[in-house]
Structure formats: C-alpha cells, structure tokens
Amino acid sequence: MPGQSVLRDATINALMAHAGRSTLAFKAAHTDRQYATAFWFNDLVESTPDSEVIRQYLVTAAEATRHDTAELTLRPELCEPVMSAEKLLMTDFAEGWTVLGDLGVAVMPTAGLHAHGRRKGWSWTTDEITDGLAAHHEDIAGIGDGPLPAYILGHDVGETSGERQQAVVVGHVARGQDGHIHWDSTVPEGCVGAPVFTGDELGGDSFKLVCVGLVLPGEKQNRIATFDLIRTAVREAAASATVPTAEPITESAAEQGPDQGTERRPSWWRRKPRKR
C-alpha cells in the first residue's frame, strides 16, 4: 500500500533524526564474536516547568555484558571533537552492569563514560531514548497478534572486515501465544540489545514514534524486552540501590537547547506527502 510505504519512510527518517546517535556498537575484546548493540536511555525522574531531572544509562541485553573487557566502537558523530581512535577498551566491563531481574536486560550508569571523555579532552554527543520515545504500558498493550511494522536500529557485522555499520532493519513485531512481543524475522549479527521502534498512525498525516524495547538473544523466538517493564525495573533497582551510582542530572529550562534533554523532542511527527 502506498500509504504504508510513506509511513515506513517517514518513520525511518524520524528515527534517524532523533535517535540515530543513540546506539553504541560493542563486542568482547580480542575476539571476533559476541557482537552486540547498546543504547543511551534518559530516565525522567522528575519534571517541572523549570527543570527536568534524569538518570542516564546504557541499556542492552544482559547476556551481551558478560565480558571482562569490551571493545566499543566510537563513531565520529558520537564525539566532540572527533577522536582519532575508533575503538575504546573498557575493562571490568561485566562489573559495571546491573541485570534487571529476569527481563534479560542490563543497565550501566553513564557517569564513567562521561568522566572518561572529560579526562581525554572530549565529550559525548549522543541522542538518547527519552521518556517521550520509550514505550509506556498503553503502547505495549496496543500491540496485538497481528504483525505491526517495526524497525531495529542496530550495528550489523561486516562479513569480511567485521565493520560495525549502523543499520535500520525493517520487519514486524507481534504478540506471541506466550504473551510476549516478538520480532518476526532474523535479527542480524550484532543487533542483539538494539532498540526496536514502531511508527503508530494517529490519523491524518500524523504518527507516533515509539521505542518498543530491545532485542533479546535467541534465534528462534526473537523476543523483545519491552520498555514498560524496563522503565519500572530500572526505577526499582535505583530505589533499592542495586544499580551503581547513577547521578541525577538536573537541567534548567534556560539551559535546555533545541537538541538536548528529555521532553523537548516530540513523540509524534507529521508525515510529509511524497512529491509527484
């Protein structure tokens, strides 16, 4: 259907414009295996007319974090100034993550990453999955057993060089007989832990971009850990102090630029009609 094609293109465009710098490719160091994708998440702790308080984490599949040392790929658009080194080795990698119950998800506060950049004279220039993008209960409840167009934003693995190019993988999600949300096709190597998005039509020319959750490992089931459960688990872990220090970040309205912060990015977009 032409309408579906327009929605697909508009969703991908919005996805890349507002979350294209949210993903981080990594793998176990010194080996050509165990490739995965993590992404930046801003948990909105408090919001007032004058300020917002967030806690920032890296999020990925828990199974992908079980390495003593990991190799992170530093894409040029993630650093300012651009770094000459394309890789960042992180030691004691597994110890930095907190596994969220039985969700299959792990989180890491980003304070250490920011501190590393400051010591080296650069800063991270990322997008984040914000409260306006991350799915809430009603978003997940609206996914039925029929296929819903969806998009993985992850880092595939080059067949010969192992290069970690970012890719938008087009497919569908649906609710399985087990009650969980599943991806309907093969997940490329390296996209475990990557965020999954949908573009939900709102009527007329408008649609809502939603980050449903992240891809869990498993070739047959391709289950998605959904953000309604992730958000709750992160806050419970923070409240019980089982997550290592995640310093709240307070931003006043005067400090918030057009491309920074949590709620300033809209959760819906208007499609642009195709030129004829």
Q: Which helix (H) or strand (E) holds 230?
A: helix 227-239
Give which of 72, 70, 90 is closest to 23, Cα–Cα: 72
pLDDT given for residue 225 in this prediction: 97
- Point out which residues pair with 80 in neighbouring strands: 123
Average pLDDT over the chain, rounded to whole?
84
pLDDT given for residue 85 in this prediction: 67
What would the pLDDT profile of 210-257 be if each residue is shown by its tens digit? 999 999 998 656 899 999 999 999 999 988 876 654 444 433 333 333
Query: How far from chain centre, in Å, is Cα 171?
Result: 17
pLDDT at 195 over 60: yes
pLDDT given for residue 1 in this prediction: 40
pLDDT at 104 over 80: yes
pLDDT given for residue 257 in this prediction: 32
Residues with Cβ within 8 Å of residue 174, at least 6 apart in sequence: 143, 144, 145, 146, 147, 148, 181, 182, 184
Contact 136, 267 (CB under 8 A): no
Q: How far apart (Å, rounded) are the C-alpha atoms in residues 201 and 270?
A: 10
Give which of 77, 65, 72 is closest to 88, Cα–Cα: 72
Q: How far apart (Å, rounded) are the C-alpha atoms in residues 64 and 25?
A: 11
Contact 19, 35 (CB under 8 A): no
What would the pLDDT profile of 201-218 be if each residue is shown by its tens digit? 777 777 889 999 999 998
Contact 117, 79 (CB under 8 A): yes
Query: Amino acid identity of 192?
Result: V
pLDDT band of 139, cuts 50, 70, 90: very high
- Torsion over CA of 80, 82, 83 and 88, rounded to 10 degrees? 60
